[in-house]
Amino acid sequence: MKYVVAEASEIESGGRKIVSVAGRSIGVFNLDGEFFALRNRCPHQGGKLCEGKLWGVIRSERPGDFEYRPSREILCCPWHGWEFHVRTGQSWCAPERLRVRRYEVETVAGEEIAEAAEVTAAPIEDPDAPSPGMVKGPYTAETYPVSREGEYLVVEIPG
């Protein structure tokens, strides 16, 4: 099912909106014009993940060395600090064990909502993967043309 959750202009770049859809709480994030939605429930112990702070990617080759990319795509759970990549829902620490449910978000022109077009997911190499071992999930941003007027965000919930 697809749900209209916001106007695109409502969520500024770097911002988020937490919405209730189909009985669950979901966070919709704007990363530099791209939108992502995550379930607001941490797979660790159920913390309100989408209320966590966003961080850039930080890597290091040796003590005292910091390589920082200010992408602010890492969401840190307010309960115990597990980190999740907003683009993929992938947890950073233990990619195999924990993965938050990722929903697909499309930006579609107003008139297309009625047509309920099918969306195809295209796997894209993630340039911000925080570590080589991180699993990259497919996502579907920018698959549809964005109209400047009447621009809505649509979240698709499977089932």
Partner 1 sequence: MIDADVHIPNPRLRDLYPLLPEHWVEHFNNTVDKGASQEYYPPRSPVAGRRGGLEELREAVFDQGGAELAISSCLYAVDSVHNPDVAAALAAATNDWQSREWLEQEPRLRGSVVAPIQLPAAAAEEIERCADRPGFVQVLIPARTEHPLGSRLYHPLWKTIERSGLVAAIHFGGAPVMPPTPTGWPSFFLEEYTAMAQVFATQLTSMIVEGVFDACPDLRVVFLESGFTWIPSHLWRMDKEWRNLRRLVPWVRRPPSDYFREHVRVGIQPLDAPPDPAHLGEVVDQLGSDDLLLYASDYPHVHACDAGDLLFRLLPESLGRKIRSENARSFYRMGG
* Part in contact with partner 1 (CB under 8 A); list of ranges 8-16, 17-25, 79-87, 120-128: 79-87
What is the contact mask toward ligand FES in residues 44 to 83, using x (rule: CB under 6 A)?
Answer: xxxx-x---------------------------x-xxxx-
Rg, the chain, Cα only: 16
Nearer to partner 1, 66 or 159 (CB): 66
Residue with the two structure tokens 């579609």:
108
Q: Do residues 12 and 32 touch, judged by C-beta distance below 8 A?
A: no
Tell how far CA 64 is from the center of its chain: 31
Burial string for 116-149 (b: 16+ CB within 10 Å, else e) reads: eeebeeeeeebebbbeeebeebebbbeeeeeeee
Of partner 1, ligand FES, none, which one does residue 63 interact with (CB within 5 to 8 Å by kind)? partner 1
Of partner 1, ligand FES, none, which one does residue 93 interact with (CB within 5 to 8 Å by kind)? partner 1
Of partner 1, ligand FES, none, which one does residue 66 interact with (CB within 5 to 8 Å by kind)? partner 1
Nearer to ligand FES, 47 or 130 (CB): 47
Q: Do residues 86 and 72 touch, judged by C-beta distance below 8 A?
A: no
According to DSSP H, which parts of the chain are helical? Answer: 110-115
State how far the Cα of 156 lies from the Cα of 96, in Å rounded to an integer. Answer: 25
Nearer to ligand FES, 92 or 152 (CB): 92
> Is residue 135 within the footprint of partner 1 (CB under 8 A)?
no
Residue ranges that bind ligand FES, judged by CB under 6 A: 42, 44-47, 49, 77, 79-82
Residue ranges that bind partner 1, judged by CB under 8 A: 55, 58-66, 76, 80-83, 93, 131
